Amino acid sequence: MTTNTSPAQIAGTPPPVRVGLVAGGLGAYWPQFPDLLPQLRRSAERVSERMRGLGAEVVDVGFISDAEEGAAAAEKLREAGCDIIVGFLTTYMTATMLVPIAQRSGAPVLLINLQPTESMDHATFDTGQWLAYCGACPLPEMANAFTRCGIPFRSVSGYLEDERAWAKIGRWVRAAGVRAALRRGRHGLMGHLYPGMLDVSTDLTLVSANFGGHVEVLEFDDLRVRVEKVTDAEARAKVEEATATFELADSVNEEDLAWAARVSAGLDHLVEDFGLDSLAYYHRGLDGEIHERLGAGMILGASLLTARGVPAAGEYELRTSLAMLIADRLGAGGSFTELQALDFQRGHVEMGHDGPAHLAISARRPLLRGLGVYHGKRGYGVSVEFDVRHGPVTAFGVIQRRDGRFAFVASEGETVDGPLLQIGNTTSRVDFGCDPGEWVDAWSATGISHHWALGTGHMVADLRALADLMDVELVEVSP
């Protein structure tokens, strides 16, 4: 993904998705057709190579030929703690070879059937050569056995260098990486609920129940003590990072920037000390006391964190910080967003937010603007302003249903040119290909809260794969 940020902002990347790979075929064939197994092993090596090309850490347990070897492979993959298991059906093989692997690993299963080339040479092929193209044969058997054993699975069929098939495989691998990030994630929740926002409140236990992971409940005093310990050198370095990253409007007050930089350095320590992968926060404060000043000084540091893969959302919006994390791990950025206005003349939905934003998806060098007042919030200081890079985008959020289940909601559109407010907010014009009023009605009817993530690119195909792996409903809005 092309970014507009400095290297310092992109420092650190999440661990690669761990793919457990096992290839197999029926051992009875090897003495009958001596050239078959070497050919299938070469295909398996190519699959392993292409998996690593997807950025995955591949735990390759080799080639299995019978149920006993399948059981041994199952133990190796169980111990490896993989994020997804990929079973490569190179030729016919029995279900007893793969079912134990799926049962013991605890990871989602993807079955792939990739024959050597697009088509056989029917005039010259003998039985042994045909069997190298027979990976489709066991797929229905696997599907039947997995279904009867209560094991969810998905499959991709194609040929070895089939880019269409590899695009699908890549989608499942990315989704497995996001699932792993949620299951292992540590999500900070600091401060208190914005008063009156019934839509924003989230049952913390439901995060673990639906996604896994851990919610670390933090106080603003956890930030306060760290900001107090920030050195002058650390604060100066943050000012330098801000001036290198942002265009500074004339309204930026030097004192406000210095305070935001100090809070930003304190936030870095907070994230490191608690091992956070995301953060949602809000504190109202009163009459300029320290907690109000901390809350007002968050935007710079939260935006810098978001840009380097630790999404931060204001207004205590835990579900949106999770949506931002998902969008970020899918390479789409994911900026804190709500509705701002509808332009019926141009057919656009105007959306964005004051507060933290994902700098990596800005259409230009982001602007830092000084504000004398934050609308609806206490305090004052510097805020981020930009338009999301023009082109395909996806609005994406997480819903908490009445029955306690989470659901995904997504809508694909395009950010386009047009007049934008200059009030220290991120603001984008999104064309969803329909009347903006109809889109807002359909979007609101899903039960989404008034915040979500706006990410670059069309994400629905990736989100559909993630929803499948996580057993979560995906609601697509396309009126």
The confidence band for 382, taking pLDDT boundaries of 50, 70 and 90, is confident
Residue 8 has pLDDT above 80, yes or no: no
The confidence band for 168, taking pLDDT boundaries of 50, 70 and 90, is very high
Q: What is the mean pLDDT of residues 389-406?
A: 97
Assigned CATH class of 185-476: alpha beta
Residue 10 has pLDDT above 80, yes or no: no
CATH of 9-178, one of 3.40.50.10940, 2.60.120.10, 3.30.450.20, 3.10.20.30: 3.40.50.10940
C-alpha distance from residue 135 to each of 25, 238, 268 (Å): 9, 56, 50
Residue 11 has pLDDT above 50, yes or no: no
The confidence band for 86, taking pLDDT boundaries of 50, 70 and 90, is very high
DSSP character at residue 14:
P
Residue 379 has pLDDT above 70, yes or no: no
pLDDT digits (tens, 9 = 90+) for 312-327: 999 999 999 999 999 9
The least confident of 105-114, 247-256, 335-344, 370-379 is 370-379
Domain boundaries, the chain: 9-178, 185-476
The least confident of 33-42, 331-340, 407-416, 465-474 is 331-340
The least confident of 67-81, 187-201, 243-257, 375-389 is 375-389
- Tokens found for residue 221: 């005093």
Residue 4 has pLDDT above 50, yes or no: no
Full-model pTM: 0.93
- CA atoms of 3 and 383, how far apart (whole Å): 20
- CA atoms of 77 and 61, how far apart (whole Å): 8
Residue 12 has pLDDT above 60, yes or no: no
Burial of residue 196 (number of CB atoms within 10 Å: 0-12, 13-18, 19+) = exposed
Residue 400 has pLDDT above 50, yes or no: yes
Q: Can you give the pLDDT at residue 381?
A: 76
Average model confidence (pLDDT) across the chain: 93
* Start-to-end C-alpha separation, the chain: 29
Taking the CA of residue 227 as centre, how many other CA atoms within 13 Å lie in the half-sphere pointing to its CB?
21
Q: What is the mean pLDDT of residues 228-253?
A: 95
Question: In three state form, how does the secondary structure of 51-83 look?
Answer: HHHCCCEEEEEEEECCHHHHHHHHHHHHHHCCC
Residue 479 has pLDDT above 80, yes or no: no
| Beta-sheet strand order (sheet of 214-218) | 214-218, 186-191, 278-282, 312-313
The least confident of 28-32, 212-216, 381-385 is 381-385
The confidence band for 374, taking pLDDT boundaries of 50, 70 and 90, is low
The least confident of 118-122, 233-237, 241-245, 295-299 is 295-299
Residue 24 has pLDDT above 60, yes or no: yes
Residue 6 has pLDDT above 50, yes or no: no
- Tokens found for residue 421: 């407010």
